[in-house]
Amino acid sequence: MLWAQIAAMSEHVMICEVGPRDGLQMAKSRMETGAKCDWIAALAKAGVKEIEVGSFVPAKLIPQMADTEAVVRFAKEIPGLVVVALAPNLRGAQAAVAAGAHRVSIPVSVSEGHSRANLNRAPDEQVAVVGQIVEWMESAGNPAEIEVACSTAFGCSIDGVVPEREVVRIAAALAETGVEQIGLADTVGYANPAQIKSVVRAVRREIGPALRGLHLHDTMGLGLANALAGLEVGIRDFDAALAGLGGCPFAPGASGNIVTEDLVFMLESMGFGTGIDLAALIAARRLLHEGLPAEPMHGQVAKAGIPRTYRQAA
């Protein structure tokens, strides 16, 4: 399909900002709670409608997430914002719901090595945990949504190649638990555009519309190319992080997420609507830098400046 034809559709693409969680968990220092909240508020003011604000994990493992409960309670008061929190188990999911998260994101690694390193469980054991969370949510009548991210769906820095059939198998097993939102994560950034298309198509054939979106990293410099490939096969939901922060402490070699600002520029320039004010988004980088002055900040649009030819999609 020609990109001109796609752009003419003026479709909406949802971007979930994951910087406050995925971005900060790898930071060398902790961002103060007040600064984090100011940053999240600025992102929401720029038009970001979904923000993954933190994770309910032991502070001794990821100290940058120790204030997640307070951050969730702040963010849920922002009008129109969908507040997402990551939880690796039932206890974490219960804490996320109690704090007021609108959506709970649960990681399930496809590769054995990453699953053991990240969760101390085999992939199928974590699928069973997801089933427990779904059952608890339903029995308790909780309004929060559940989404699952299939981590290392495109390769693993511990196990190497991850067979496509295994990605499909795990996704199908998750759909069987009753989860209605399943994403594919290039946790270590090893994917290429052809692989993105192949895996997305294979998973969609198996689970249909339960396939929600893509979480991409830019380790090999192919992050935006992979997003473009996802667009071409119908993905309309992406995770990204302001200034390209991020990585996984349990995946050696993983670097930052795709840059939110660059993704917005690409999508809007192509005619897709994101609802995000690019200038305001770039301005939010200042708060991020003030909160974490030692962290490197990436992004070509912020470096070059918004060109005069740029027009936000209607």
Q: For residue 202, give the DSSP letter.
A: H
Integer Cα distance of 106 and 154 in angstroms: 18
- Long-range interactions of 90-98: CB distance < 8 A, separation 24+: 90/129, 90/132, 90/133, 90/136, 91/56, 92/55, 92/56, 92/57, 93/56, 93/133, 93/136, 93/137, 93/146, 94/136, 95/56, 95/69, 96/56, 96/72, 96/144, 97/137, 97/142, 97/144
**Collapsing DSSP states into helix, strand and coil, what is residue 233?**
coil
- CA dihedral (108, 122, 190, 62) in degrees, to 10, reads 70
Active site residue 37: no
C-alpha gyration radius of the chain: 18
Integer Cα distance of 37 and 20 in angstroms: 9
- Tracing tokens 């320039």 back to the chain, one arrives at 269
User: Which candidate in 16, 37, 150, 248 is catalytic?
Assistant: 248
Integer Cα distance of 138 and 115 in angstroms: 26
Catalytic residues: 248
